[in-house]
Each structure stands twice: as C-alpha cells, then as structure tokens.
Amino acid sequence: MAASADSSAPMPKPAPAPKPTPTHGVLFEAVHVFDGTAEQLTEPMQVLVVGNRIVQLSAEPIAPPAEFELTRIQGAGRTLMPGLIDAHTHVMYATLSQQAILTSDLGFLNVAATKAAADMLLRGFTSIRDLGGPVFGLKRGIDLGLVPGPRIWPAGAFISQSGGHGDFRLPSELPAAPDAFSFSERVGAAVIADSPDAVRKRAREQLALGASQIKLMAGGGVASSYDPLDVTQYTVPELRAAVEAAENWGTYVAVHAYTPRAVRQAIEAGVASIEHGQLLDEATVRLIAEQDLWWSLQPFIDDQPSPYAEGSMNRRKQLAMYAGTDRAYRLAKQFGIKTAWGTDILFNAENAKRQGAKLAAMTRWYTPAEALRMATADNAELLALSGPRSPYEGKLGVVEEGALADLLLVDGNPLEDLSLVADPASNFLVIMKDGWIYKNSLTSPDPPPASPRADSPESR
C-alpha cells in the first residue's frame, strides 16, 4: 500500500499569472492634421495609434495607459496625413525594361518587384491598386511581414483578346496552337481570351487566385505591339461575361480604354471603373457621370524620359495619348466625375522614382487639397469597391478615430506646397503602415523598419 502524503508539507504556490503583453502604441504630438478630405489643416493635435488603428485625436494632451509600449513622436507643428494611395500600378513591371520583363525568369522579376514595392512604401505609398501582373506572391510576402511594401489590391493577370493590349506574343507565335499558353500566360502576367466563355473562365481563375478586382483590356494601348490606339477590343457579351463573374464574387471590373467607342461599350457591359480615357469626348464623359462610374485618370504629360524610341510606333501612340490629358481632366472636373489618381508607371526605374512627382504635377489641374484628397480619401473609396474581396479590413485614406494607421509625417504643409511629396526622402520624416513605423528620421540613427510578426495571420 502506498504511503500517504505528508499533510504537513507546504502546498505548492500557484504559478504566477502571465503578464499581459504590453500594447504597442505611437503618440504623435503637436501635429497639424490633413484628414484626407478637408481644405485646411487642423490646429495642433495629438494623435494616438494603438496596434494598427488610430484610436484618439485630441487638441488636449493624451495620457495613454501605463501598460503601453509607447513611442512618442514630436511633430513640432509638422503635418500628419494619411498614407498615399496609387490607384493604378503594375509593381511587377515598374522598374524593368519591357524586354527584360518578357525575357527574364519569374524569380528575377519577383526580386525586382520586391525592391520596387519596398521603394514605393518609402515614397509614402502605403496602398496600391495593382491592375495587372503576377503579384499574388509578393502581396502575400508583404502581408506576412517577410518584406516591406504597400498594401496591394491585386487584379492578377490582365485579360486581353488576341491582338489586344495584353497580347505580348511574338509574331512567330501566331497563329497560336489550340490551348497553347505563352510565357506571359504561364507566369500569370496576362491571359488571352476570345469568347464570352473564355473570358468568364479566365476571370474566375483570377478571382480564385485572390484578385480583388478584374482588369480587362477594352481598347488599344501604348505599350502593346499589335493594336493601334483607336482600336476597340472585345464585344459587349465578352465584357459582360467578366462583369458577371466579378459581380458573383462581390467585386467589379476595371477596363483599360482610351476612346469613346471602347468606353461606351464597357459601360454598356456594366464595368465600374474606366482606366485612362484620355481621348474621350464630352458625350461619353457625360455618360460616365450619369452612370456614377469611376474615372481613373493618370497625369500623362510629356515631362519624363520615354521608354520608347523617338519615331517608333509606341512613341507615336504615347504622344497621341498625352495630347488628350488636359482635355480629359477638364471634362472630369466639368461633369463632377468621381476621379481617381494613379501613375501607371512602366518599364523605367528612374520614372518609378518620380511617383510622388506625378502627384505634385496634379496642380496643373487641381488645388493641392483636391489632389491630396484624390490620392487619399477618394482613392480609398475606389479601393472599397472590392467589397468582400478587399484584402484588408478597415478604413483607409483618412486620419480619424477607428481608421487604419497608415500615416505620413510631412516636414511642411503639402496643402500649400504639394511639391513636398515629390521629395519623400527629405520631406516624409515618418512613414507608418498598419501601425508599424518603417521610417523615422526624427531619431538618430534610424531604427530598422518595424514589421508585423512572422506568425501574424495572412490577409484574405
């Protein structure tokens, strides 16, 4: 029989309760706030970020709870504003030449795109809508905190007809064998679809892979080899097949198009966003307004080096498109169109560095406040069209309580001098995305960029 326990022995002490993990917080002090919508900055404010949310704005001092791991940032009268949003990017294609993209293996393209994404974030772009390219893997790596970069709303491969703006096959590859896939199709850059059923299938494939919206080529383009700028691409039933597929997933279709006929056909099919449209006439712009659609315009003017040789077909198309930009913005303002801002920078690392300069160029048509609102609150509204397919939960593009903490501290007042955004290295002193500080020039030396934990849950 086992001996009984000695009842006089002291009872073991209970294990101490685990200490709660301190809450990560950042307090911006004495900052003037551009909230994403207002025409003027606020009086000096205190802005408290806890985790990945803005939890308090106050003109009075904020006393955070003692258990916070708090970083204090002295604004000293500088401007706190939402992170910038570029509504039309191709991060996989921004910094490499077109030849390199068409001839390199996908591993190299991903390395280049990883650097391009990190550079975008350090230019103050905390969110982008990527409208074509094999970007799903890069997005996943950013969301997991493996590499720095902006939030990405991916379209995946853009969908094109044969001979359309997304057809980058060589002439020697045409006619294509049945069910033959080109390099662009194999790597998920672009897919060719030439019937309503084929378009529907390709759209569903991109949605299955995680597309937050679908991108179709509805007209001729500058970068492609086969199609003149004036060509209308796809038929209404083909476009409508993609719209139906997207609507069934709770999201929408954006179309590349420049001309009235291409845009009118896309509107008839039910698309929600017109990309480019530099050659539109007044009647078509009025139709966009009547349908309450988005017009995603880019400030395309001949103010930068072109990736195309002078006299080449692509360069001639580019100049013809540039010629319509001033009129397009005038019409967008005249009819009160919901206008998004984006850059659509392609094939040139030096041009990619001018992402902020392209926002500063908007003062050619808009006040600084109007341009900044376009690149923050308005673009965030466009991102929200993805509905349940949006990869991130929370409000963006504004500085308000409850919004996601994507923030920039600017050394100056961009509502008075929008050129500040053209030099982010000098003028963006703090860059925060999702509550994490990726740049802080107010400390010396700079800390390494803070990132989400590697075991953080993936975004949808």
Contacts of 346 (CB under 8 A, 6+ apart): 90, 93, 94, 98, 223, 307
Angstrom CA distances, 310 to 70, 193, 220, 221, 314, stand at: 55, 32, 20, 17, 9
Handedness of CA 74, 76, 82, 85 (dihedral sign): negative
CA distance linking residue 200 with residue 215, whole number of Å: 12
Q: Do domains 23-82+396-440 and 84-389 have the same CATH topology?
A: no
Per-residue pLDDT of the chain (460 residues; tens, 9 = 90+): 444 444 455 555 555 555 555 568 999 999 999 999 999 999 999 999 999 999 999 999 998 877 778 899 999 999 999 999 999 999 999 989 888 888 888 899 999 999 999 999 999 999 999 999 999 999 999 999 999 999 999 999 999 999 999 988 888 888 887 778 887 888 888 999 999 999 999 999 999 999 999 999 999 999 888 999 999 999 999 999 999 999 999 999 999 999 999 999 999 999 999 999 999 999 999 999 999 999 999 999 988 888 888 999 999 999 999 999 999 999 999 999 999 999 999 989 999 999 999 999 999 999 999 999 999 999 999 999 999 999 999 999 999 999 999 999 999 999 999 999 999 999 999 999 999 999 999 974 444 444 554 444 333 3
Residue extents of the structural domains in the chain: 23-82+396-440, 84-389
pLDDT recorded at residue 104: 87
pLDDT recorded at residue 455: 40
CA distance linking residue 377 with residue 360, whole number of Å: 17
Please report which residue ranges of 127-216 form alpha helices under DSSP H. Answer: 136-143, 183-186, 196-209
Domain 84-389 has CATH 3.20.20.140: yes
Cα angle for residues 68, 72, 73 (degrees, 5° grid)? 150
Helix (H, G, I), strand (E, B) or coil at 261: helix
Architecture per CATH, 23-82+396-440:
Roll (2.30)
CA distance linking residue 321 with residue 163, whole number of Å: 19
Helix (H, G, I), strand (E, B) or coil at 153: strand
pLDDT recorded at residue 16: 56
Angstrom CA distances, 194 to 197, 248, 254, stand at: 8, 21, 18
